[in-house]
Amino acid sequence: MEAYNGTYIGYCFLTEELAMDTLDELYFKMLKKAVDGELELAPEGMDPRLIDCLTLPDDGTVVRVKPCLCPPDERHCAEACEWDALKPGNEVGIAVDTEKCVGCQACIDACELDSLKAKKDIIPVVQELHQYDGPVYALVAPAIAGQFGADVTMGKMRSTLKALGFTGMLEVAAFADILTLKEALEFDKNINSEGDFQLTSCCCPMWIAMIKKLYHQLLPNVPGSVSPMIAGGRTVKALHPKAKTVFIGPCLAKKAEKNEPDIAGAIDYVLTYQELRDLLSVTDLKPADMPEDAQLHASTTGITYAYAGGVAAAVERTLEKLNPHRKIKLQTRKADGVPGCKAMINDILEGRREGNFFEGMGCIGGCVGGPRAIIPKEEGKKCVQTYADSSAFETPMENPYVIGILKELGFNTVEDFLTKSHLYDRQF
Ligand code: SF4
Ligand code: SF4
């Protein structure tokens, strides 16, 4: 193998004078320049391929920042990858197969040399905010409650994002509401005997990847629905065809999800809460000091999608309101974390179902425990609960914002929309 003296980012090589900068230093320098509206982000003399690595968004979820030094048979990253996405690279060790990578971050955690990093997409987003001549909407995942301070309300968050240049902020919890309705109606239609059961289709790309890639015999039990993120992006683009959409959440797997061929195009960029924090750190904006810009959006049960058990509870409560007298009641069972999800799926396959509605979340605790959350999951769950309890509506059935969106799309009732529109459908 060829000897290396420098630092690699993907396949990019830093010149000697710039090798003094760590990746983080370079990242913050370029981010600051992007915020100031400078067109030339790179320090002079830098390899243009390095700029591409930090400024092109669709380049996978994991990047290698140094050559691999581990012997080929001791690569902990490859051992940790359950998705067969890490392969021997041509000249610098391991290579990430972006088609197979689901963005679980297991390889990043397993690399003792800190050679693998999660991809950042904030710089291209800032460039869009400066240069794009159409609307750019931020879609925030419900786990955002409390991430930027316990006193940062959703209204203050909206003001902050508008001050950063976004046209508006939408809560993805409102689209979780629409998918709750879809899942409840699917259950009502399909689960009619003791032997029938349904797995949640929405929300977590890790759960869906597990079923698609490892347990595909269960796919007939998964309703064909997109996630709330994709539902939000598709809705924005249906109503504002020129709009760009930026999802902001605690999740790395969403970066991979947005590029899946059958749903690509709904979301233009995926940022994490940590990337948003980085952006705020190079501005003077303090979310806690921003004015309130509150809008009614999501119901209690849509907001609680942010923690484990939230999806199952949302569908259960909504089904009770849709059809309170149905003979077969919904019995939920849930799991969080990849090993827990696998154990539950194995129980289903071996006949120990103990339920007829199964929710799986890839992270322990659900999205509040996502890899790019800022605060501990217990604190995140408390903040989400406080915000959820403040909603004026318990379920999507009473949510006028959801009904309003559907009317804007040309549908007078939820049932009408779900049977006549394919906007939120997906074929697995
Ligand atoms: S992020 Fe997960 S799926 Fe992607 S390469 Fe790493 S371990 Fe494999
Ligand atoms: S549970 Fe984890 S992997 Fe799944 S959507 Fe939430 S943050 Fe992403």
Could you state, in order of their start, the residue ranges of all structural domains in the chain? 23-118, 125-420
182 contacts 418 by C-beta, under 8 angstroms: yes
Q: Which atom of ligand 1 is nearest to the CA of 80?
A: 7
* Paired tokens of 248: 């902001």
Q: Residue 331: count other Cβ atoms within 10 Å of its Cβ.
A: 14
Q: Which residues line ligand 2 (CB under 6 A)?
A: 203-206, 250-251, 253, 361-363, 366-367, 370
Task: Work out the average pLDDT over 217-225.
Answer: 93
* CATH architecture of residue range(s) 23-118: 2-Layer Sandwich (3.30)
> How high is the pLDDT of residue 26?
82
> How high is the pLDDT of residue 164?
98
> How high is the pLDDT of residue 47?
60
CA-to-CA dists, residue 362 to 14, 84, 104, 175, 320, angstroms: 36, 17, 8, 20, 27
Tell me: the pLDDT tens digits for 59-86?
678 887 777 888 878 888 999 998 888 8
Tell me: the pLDDT tens digits for 84-140?
888 876 666 788 888 889 989 999 999 988 888 888 899 999 999 999 999 999 999
Task: Work out the average pLDDT over 380-394.
Answer: 96
Q: At what angle do helices 48-55 and 122-131 cross, to 10 degrees?
A: 80
> How high is the pLDDT of residue 387?
96
| Residue 96 Cβ contacting ligand 1 at under 6 Å | yes
> How large a percentage of the chain has pLDDT more than 70?
90
120 Cβ neighbours under 8 A, 6+ residues apart: 27, 54, 275, 278
Output 47 or 397, whichever has higher pLDDT: 397
pLDDT tier, 217 (very low <50, low <70, confident <90, very high otherwise): very high
Distance CA(347)–CA(98), nearest Å, equals 31
State which amino acid sits at residue 326. R
* Paired tokens of 114: 């800190």
Q: Which atom of ligand 2 is nearest to the CA of 371?
A: 7
In this predicted structure, the answer to whether residue 295 has a pLDDT above a threshold of 70 is yes
* Adjacent-strand bridge partners of 94: 88
Smallest-distance ligand from the CA of 60: 1
Q: Which atom of ligand 1 is nearest to the CA of 103?
A: 1
CA-to-CA dists, residue 256 to 263, 271, 424, angstroms: 11, 12, 19
Smallest-distance ligand from the CA of 341: 2
Distance CA(288)–CA(54), nearest Å, equals 29
> How high is the pLDDT of residue 50?
62
> How high is the pLDDT of residue 17?
42
pTM attached to this predicted model: 0.92
> How high is the pLDDT of residue 9?
40
Residue 311 CA to ligand 2 center (angstroms) comes to: 12
In this predicted structure, the answer to whether residue 18 has a pLDDT above a threshold of 90 is no
> How large a percentage of the chain has pLDDT more than 90?
64
In this predicted structure, the answer to whether residue 306 has a pLDDT above a threshold of 70 is yes
Distance CA(315)–CA(133), nearest Å, equals 40
Distance CA(413)–CA(416), nearest Å, equals 5
* Adjacent-strand bridge partners of 255: none
Output 95 or 391, whichever has higher pLDDT: 391
> How high is the pLDDT of residue 95?
83
Q: To test ligand 1's pocket by mutation, which of 59, 62, 212 has the most ligand atoms within 8 angstroms of CB?
A: 62
Q: To test ligand 2's pocket by mutation, which of 101, 367, 384 has the most ligand atoms within 8 angstroms of CB?
A: 367
- 16-20, 179-183, 258-262: which has the minimum mean pLDDT? 16-20
Tell me: the pLDDT tens digits for 325-340?
999 999 999 999 999 9
Task: Work out the average pLDDT over 141-152.
Answer: 97
Q: Is 151 helix (H, G, I), strand (E, B) or coil?
A: coil
